[in-house]
Structure 1
Amino acid sequence: MASSSAGIVTGLTMAALVTIGVLGHQASVGAPAGLGPTTRATTSPAPGAAKAPRDGRHPDALPTMSGTGERVVYSVDDDRVWLVGPGNEVRRTFEVTPSTVDPTPGAYTVTSRSKLVTGSDGIPVEHVVRFAGAQGVAIGFSAAVDGSTARPDPDRPTGGIRETRADGDAMWKFATIGRQVVVVP
C-alpha cells in the first residue's frame, strides 16, 4: 500500500507541475489570438533601462507569433514598432519611448485618432492613434509637437507611446480606425 500511495502522490505532483508550467507559459505569451484585448496592464521598466533584442534575433526583425495580415506590431520588451503591409512585408520599423503603463500582450484595433491634442503627460502631441486603455489612461502612439521623446515621469500613469514626428506621420497614415494592433512581449 505504501508504494502504491507514493506512486499516486508522485503522479499527482507531476501533473500539478505540468499544469503550473503550462499556465505560466500561457501567461508569458499573453492572450491567444482571437480572444481580444484584456484590461490588465503592466508597468514599464525604469526609464533608461537598456533593452536588448530577445532570442538573439536582429533588432529590426519582425517578431514571430505577431499575427498575419496588415497590422501594427508593438513589442513592449523591445520598445519597437513594425508597420506590416500585405504579404507580411515590413513597411517601416522604428524605436519608441514607452509610456509608464504598458498594454497587455494581445490583439487590439485602433479605436480613435486625434490630429492634435495634449497628452496625458501635459505635452502637446500630434498624430495620436489610440488602441487600448488601462489604469485610467488611454494607450496609443503619438509624437510630441516639439519633437521630444523624453521618458515620462515613472510616478505618473501615462499611455502615450512616443514616436519621432516622422514615425508619427507614418503611423498616422497607416493606422486608420479598425487597423489591427498586435502587442507582443
Structure 2
Amino acid sequence: MLHERVTTWYLQMHSPQALRPARPLQPEPLLMRAEQPLPMLNRFLYTAVGGHWFWRDRLNWSYARWQAWLDRPELETWVLYVRGTPAGYIELEAQCEGDVEIAYFGLMREFSGQGLGGHLLTRGLQRAWAMPGTRRVWVHTCSLDGPAALANYEARGMQRYHEAVHEQLRPEQADGPWPGWDREDRAQ
C-alpha cells in the first residue's frame, strides 16, 4: 500500500443554461436508462469503469446493499452503448433542496479518447436538469480519477466551488475490472 496525496475537486452548475454541450457524435451512441434496479449491472459498471481508477468504496457491498442503493426513486442509472456494447454510465441521485449529484460517471478505458465522455456528460447533465425540482447539479472528482475527468466537467460548464487535499492509503496498482487482471497476458 502507498500513501498518496489526493486532491478532490467539487464542481457545480446552477442553471441548465450554463451547460456547454459537447460536439455531436455521428452516429449518436445509444443512451438508455436502466429502469430495473439490478445490483449485478451496477456492480459490473462500477468495476469495469472504476477498476482502473482506484474506485474501491463499493467493492465490498453486498447484493442487499446494492439493491437498497438502486431501488430508490431518486436514483437513476443511464448506460451508454456503442455498437451494442456498454461503454460507460452515469448515476444521478436527486437529493434534498433541489440538488442532483452525479454520483458516478465514467467510460470503460477502451472507449476513451473518442468524444464519448463529453457526450455522456452532456446527456447526463441534460437529464439532471430535467429531473423535477432541480436547482443545482454537483459532482466531486479527484486526482485518482481518469485524467480527463476534471477537464470534461469544466468544459461542460461546471464550476469548481471547493478543493480538498488529503493523504490516502491506496494499493500500488488499481484493482482493475476483476481480480488478477494485471497478472494476465492480455495479448492472448
Q: Same fold per TM (> 0.5)?
A: no
- Give the TM-score normalised by the residue count of structure 1: 0.24
- Give the TM-score normalised by the residue count of structure 2: 0.24
RCO higher in 1 or 2 (8 Å CA, sep ≥ 6)?
A: 2
Task: Compare the two structures and name the one with the higher helix fraction.
Answer: 2
